[in-house]
């Protein structure tokens, strides 16, 4: 059966106006070009992952801060004025509340991908304010006449700094800023005292801060490398899997990928009582192209057909190069004779546009076989193949539909 021409052209104008303008419609691209992951986008992914980890890890720190504030206030209660303690407790509570709201919003909105980076600023500001309320607040709540209580305050700050080192280690800047805010005010005060005990305690804090800088650098760069490696491995795996399915020359599915995906498509259609169509086509007198212009010209023809298929068929259709110069399209028809019409479109696209190779124009054509029906993949392909051979017998450059 040959598709009727007047009807066909009206169909072509309706369905493929871009083809007649000499361009191909982009929404029908079967193989959209994936965004290539550059080093900077990989770094952004790592930053996203680190921030995700921070949000996940530091939620309990809000409550640790509140509990520590309650404990320290109880310890200082007999020796410190409530006019001093109350405002400090209030500031700590307001900060904890702000952080709680931030975490609740984050968990409610559940940002994904790069959107998470928009939360980095607010996370950092609340962390900074909370650390400053502890670091500077400690100087206000510390009783100046009791060295015992001064050391107790210092003990709490060192404890919180140790916590910050483990909780915020994913981000070195945040870790060091938090520890600096916690320790620098009290350390400076201790070092400026004239007696040995506070100076020695202050020096201890300096030693702690230096080891924290080193530990923070090691922890954060190890985490960074491990996150980056994870992403690189994932990308490499995805690329290798995709490459194993793609025919290098035509850029479309290879035979193996076609049978894997085709079987799934056929099973789906059989389960849902839907029809499926197969188009098989083979370049006419391909051997002559190879013989006359060389193998590279033949390769260019195969590449050209791969591009036509990539730009013409729908995302839901499946196309592949299944032999030397033999291609297949598997599609779920949405209108009667759609497969025959698509075959005719492809035939026209191939025969009307010669390939340019080494300054020469090569005219090519292909013969098409179409089969429609709710049968298994092998039967469908056998029928389409038989129709394609009929097209060859009929003189080539034509579409034949299986009865
Ligand atoms: P027909 O119209 O009957 O299909 O004739 P034909 O010449 O196209 O068919 P035939 O099967 O005789 O020749 C197919 C040729 O395709 C033979 C082979 O050398 C060539 N071929 C197979 N794979 C490739 C390839 O990857 N690149 C190139 N350049 N040629 C290939
Ligand atoms: Mg051929
Ligand atoms: Mg062949």
- The helix (H) or strand (E) run that includes residue 95 is helix 82-109
Which one of 209, 236, 263 terminates a domain? 236
Cα–Cα dist 228/355, whole Å: 44
Q: What would the DSSP string read from start to end of 8-36? A: HHHHHHHH-HHHHTTS--GGG-SSPPPPP
The alpha carbon of 381 and the centre of ligand 3 are apart by a number of angstroms equal to 14
332 phi and psi, to 5 degrees? -90, 110
- 198 with 320, same domain: the answer is no
Q: What is the pLDDT along the chain (403 residues), one digit of tens a residue?
A: 444 444 444 544 455 444 444 444 333 333 433 445 566 778 888 888 888 988 998 899 999 999 999 999 999 999 999 999 999 999 999 999 999 999 999 999 999 888 999 999 999 999 999 999 999 999 999 998 899 999 999 999 999 999 988 888 888 888 899 999 999 999 999 999 988 999 999 999 999 889 888 888 888 888 888 888 998 999 999 989 888 999 999 999 999 999 999 999 988 888 888 889 999 999 999 999 999 999 999 999 999 999 999 999 998 899 999 999 999 999 988 777 899 999 999 999 999 989 999 888 999 999 999 999 877 899 999 999 999 999 999 999 999 999 7
Yes or no: say if 284 and 383 are a contact pair by the CB < 8 Å rule.
no
CA angle 34, 38, 40 (to 5 degrees): 135
Strands (DSSP E) along 257-384, which ranges?
Answer: 276-283, 318-321, 326-331, 355-357, 360-362, 366-373
From 236, 270, 292, give the residue that closes a domain: 236
- 75 and 126 share a domain? yes
Statement to judge: residues 332 and 395 lie in one domain: yes
Same domain? For 303 and 217 the reply is no
Residues 223 and 51: their CA atoms lie apart, in Å, by: 12
Ligand approaching nearest to the C-alpha of 298: 1
**Structural domain boundaries, residue 55:** 18-236
- Together in a domain, 89 and 185: yes
Choose one of 188, 207, 236: the last residue of a domain.
236
Q: Which mutation among 254, 289, 290, 294 tests ligand 1's pocket best, with the greatest number of atoms within 8 A of CB?
A: 290
Same domain, 363 and 282: yes
Tokens, residue 146: 């009791």
335 lies in the same domain as 219:
no
User: Of all helices (H) and strands (E), which one includes residue 174?
Assistant: helix 172-191
Structure tokens at 322: 């299944």
Report yes or no: 344 and 11 within 8 Å, Cβ to Cβ: no
Which residues have C-beta atoms less than 6 Å from ligand 1?
Answer: 249, 282-287, 290, 295, 298-299, 302, 324-325, 392, 396
- Residue 159 domain flag: yes
* Alpha carbon 100 to its chain's center: 29
pTM of this structure: 0.60
- Strands 355-357 and 360-362, by their bridges, are antiparallel
Q: How far apart are CA 360 and CA 377, in angstroms?
A: 39
CATH, residue 372: 3.30.70.270
Q: What is the largest CA-CA distance in the chain?
A: 109
Do 84 and 188 share a domain, yes or no? Answer: yes
Question: How far is the centre of ligand 3, averaged over its atoms, from the C-alpha of 384 (Å)?
Answer: 14
CA nearest ligand 1 atom 13, residue: 287
Determine, yes or no, domain membership for 13.
no
Same domain, 232 and 316: no
Regarding whether 303 and 214 lie in a shared domain, the answer is no
The rounded Å distance from CA 324 to ligand 2 centre is 8
How many domains is the chain built from? 2
* Nearest protein CA to atom 21 of ligand 1, as residue: 324
The tokens for 403 are 């009865």
């Amino acid at each position: 059966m040959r598709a009727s021409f007047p009807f066909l052209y009206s169909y072509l104008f309706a369905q493929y106006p871009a083809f007649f303008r000499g361009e191909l419609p982009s929404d029908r691209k079967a193989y959209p070009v994936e965004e290539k992951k550059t080093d900077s986008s990989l770094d952004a992914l790592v930053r996203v992952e680190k921030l995700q980890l921070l949000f996940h890890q530091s939620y309990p720190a809000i409550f640790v801060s509140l509990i520590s504030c309650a404990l320290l206030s109880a310890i200082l209660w007999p020796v410190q004025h409530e006019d001093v303690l109350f405002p400090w407790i209030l500031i700590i509570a307001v900060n904890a509340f702000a952080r709680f709201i931030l975490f609740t919003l984050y968990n409610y909105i559940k940002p994904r991908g790069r959107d998470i980076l928009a939360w980095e600023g607010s996370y950092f500001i609340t962390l900074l304010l909370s650390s400053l309320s502890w670091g500077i607040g400690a100087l206000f709540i510390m009783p100046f006449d009791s060295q015992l209580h001064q050391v107790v305050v210092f003990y709490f700050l060192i404890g919180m700094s140790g916590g910050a080192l483990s909780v915020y280690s994913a981000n070195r800047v945040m870790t060091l800023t938090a520890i600096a805010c916690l320790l620098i005010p009290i350390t400076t005060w201790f070092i400026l005292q004239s007696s040995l005990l506070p100076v020695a305690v202050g020096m201890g804090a300096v030693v702690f801060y230096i080891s924290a800088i080193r530990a923070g650098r090691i922890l954060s760069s190890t985490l960074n490398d491990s996150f980056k490696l994870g992403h690189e491995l994932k990308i490499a795996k995805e690329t290798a899997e995709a490459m194993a399915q793609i025919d290098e020359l035509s850029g479309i599915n290879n035979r193996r990928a076609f049978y894997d995906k085709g079987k799934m498509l056929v099973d789906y259609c059989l389960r849902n009582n839907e029809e499926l169509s197969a188009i098989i086509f083979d370049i006419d007198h391909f051997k002559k192209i190879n013989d006359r212009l060389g193998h590279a010209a033949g390769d260019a023809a195969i590449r050209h057909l791969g591009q036509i298929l990539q730009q013409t068929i729908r995302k839901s259709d499946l196309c592949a190069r299944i032999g030397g110069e033999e291609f297949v399209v598997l599609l779920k028809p949405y209108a009667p004779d759609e497969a025959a019409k698509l075959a005719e479109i492809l035939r026209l696209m191939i025969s009307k546009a010669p390939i340019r190779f080494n300054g020469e124009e090569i005219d090519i054509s292909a013969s098409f076989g179409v089969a429609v029906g709710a049968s298994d993949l092998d039967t469908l392909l056998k029928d389409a193949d038989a129709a394609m051979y009929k097209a060859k017998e009929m003189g080539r450059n034509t579409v034949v539909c299986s009865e």
